[in-house]
Amino acid sequence: MKSAEERVRAAYARIGEVDRPEVWISLRDEEEALAAAREVDERRASGADLPLAGTVFAVKDNIDVAGFPTTAGHPGYAYEPEKNATAVARLLDAGAVVLGKTNLDQFATGLVGTRSPYGAVRDAHRPDRVSGGSSSGSGVAVALGIVDFALGTDTAGSGRVPAAFGGIVGVKPTIGLVPNTGVVPACRTLDCVTVFAAGTGLARQVAGLMSGVDPADPRSRPWPVDAPLGAPPKPRVGVPDPADLVGMAPEWRAAFEAAVKRLADTGAETVQFHVKPFLEAGRLLYEGAFVAERYAAVGSFLVNPESAEGLDPTVATIISGAGSLPAHQLVADTERLDRLRAEARAQTAGLDAILLPTVGEHPTIAEVAEDPIGVNSRLGTYTNFCNLFDMAAIAIPAGETEDGAKFGVTLAAPAFSDHVVADIAERFLADRAVPVDTVALPPSAVPLVVVGAHLSGQPLNGQLTSLGARLLAPVRTAAEYRLYALDTEPAKPGLVRVAEGGAQIEAELWALPRAGLGGLLAELPAPMALGRVRLADGAEHVGFLCEPAAVAGARDITSFGGWRAFLAARE
């Protein structure tokens, strides 16, 4: 891994190469960034745990970073934050170096990336096209290879549309997992801090490091003890009925069909569903009373005559018009949303996730200028519903259309299925995944050591995956155990700790949702038990053990080094 200083120097060299000033609203002085990088290198050299050391990132300019003004895309709105947003503070603590604040659709209102007095952000690959918004600068900064990752926000799709156009990954966590403390609200009940990165590994690592309850954010949410930590080996994924995609151009439909086939090739089972309730709910975000949240956030600023200079006219029309919406319309729209949510759940019952196109076209900047609201509305067709339905999502690249446009798809699933959609995405993008040592898991996850029939590929492994467990790593026990072949059905070994004559035994370390541990124990037949298992590195975790009395007369298979080796020798 490069030192932080080397990475910062490379980033500023890349900024000079690409010459895209519209990406940034505030860019840190290079010497200041280098000084911060040297501090990171010194901390790492002293032994500090800095999982993001050697990475640089950018932050959308509606998220507070101490030392930079927060403008939310309007010069007159600018203020100097006294401290970092919670999400930013956690990343800095992990060793990342921030380079600057990125351009955005004003007040995070738009999916195009052109609604900014700081200039329209051009697409990273086709400069005559829009970059997507509202997290436009952040998406392009990653797509151009300037930064390793960037933060955006997502209310209607702003953390996913730029990912699709840039050919990168966009992680939209479950609402509330990442605190919004220090984030200028768009729709306070729907906003999410998001991550852009080149691959799934780094993106989900960053999302995990930002997650965790913040008492300063009353809407932040803890990770439930029963939420899955991974996707099943053969997930069931919903795909839209082809009749629901008739509005897409033929080349874009062909790209999506190719993505569905690619997903099936990973072992997923694809199941058709009707997307109508999802799309109807999405239209409520701007066409219904929910847009009043935007007025509640910044309406008083917009109606001030002194704010006129620098105000995007389309943004002004959308937000100011929401100020006169009656309360009874919000009640009616909320009831309608509840009905649509119930219908959508019925459509997707039994599915682990759904797969949709992220967008169905890639407009030019000129086309957006001609029809700013109509084009923007179309770009949100497959993204607007997500936060209204309280879903986790990840946008991933899926090749190109016949005319050379980047094509992307989104995997979405109910709240707290973040690891499920990320795992499926990682399988889809096997050649693009950025390797990381571990996935950042919630504190409630229970490490579990398995040595026999629950190992990957063995008969009882499904008991773990059905509980939402995920494999962390192959491991070995400390040299304190002996392994015996038990006379059971299915065949399984018994691991027993001994005072003398022990050996290291091949094992796997899994992470299990805490709520699943009790269920696993309740189903565990004698003579198996759960206890503390010591690993070769000295760590101790819950693991499968065997009652010592049960191995009397059983075959000692310790010399094979593990259950798999014993089974292979029998064949």
**Encoding tokens for residue 546?**
């065997």
**DSSP letter, residue 77:** G
Instruction: Characterize the bridge pairing of strands 555-556 and 540-546.
Output: unpaired
Check the CA dihedral 291-292-295-297 and report its sign.
negative
DSSP string, 282-318: HHHHHHSGGGHHHHHHHHHHHTSGGG-TT--HHHHHH
d(CA 550, CA 524): 15
Among this protein's residues, is 158 annotated catalytic? Answer: yes
Confirm if 410 and 379 have CB atoms less than 8 A apart: no
d(CA 485, CA 503): 16
d(CA 101, CA 112): 18
Looking at the DSSP bridge assignments, the partners of residue 528 are 546
Question: Is residue 188 exposed (0-12), middle (13-18) or buried (19+ Cβ within 10 Å)?
Answer: middle
Peptide bond into 417 cis (omega under 30): no
- C-alpha distances (whole Å) from 367 to each of 114, 118, 157, 204, 421 are 11, 19, 20, 34, 33
Confirm if 15 and 145 have CB atoms less than 8 A apart: no
Among this protein's residues, is 138 annotated catalytic? Answer: no
Instruction: Characterize the bridge pairing of strands 506-512 and 446-450.
Output: antiparallel
Confirm if 407 and 399 have CB atoms less than 8 A apart: yes
- The 10 Å Cβ neighbour count of residue 472 is 20
DSSP string, 420-479: HHHHHHHHHTTTTPPP-SS----TT-EEEEE-STTSTTSTTHHHHHTTT-EEEEEEEB-S
Counting every residue, how long is the chain?
Answer: 571
**Helix %, strand %, coil % of the chain (to 5):** 35, 20, 40
Helix (DSSP H) and strand (DSSP E) numbers for the chain: 18, 19
Check the CA dihedral 340-343-348-352 and report its sign.
positive
d(CA 238, CA 240): 7
Secondary structure in 3-state letters for 85-113: CHHHHHHHHCCCEEEEEECCCHHHCCCCC
Of 115, 155, 128, 181, nearest to 137 by C-alpha is 115
Of 474, 482, 475, nearest to 559 by C-alpha is 482
Which position among 131, 136, 138, 158 bears the catalytic label? Answer: 158
Which position among 26, 116, 131, 134 bears the catalytic label? Answer: 134
List, by residue number, the catalytic residues.
60, 134, 158
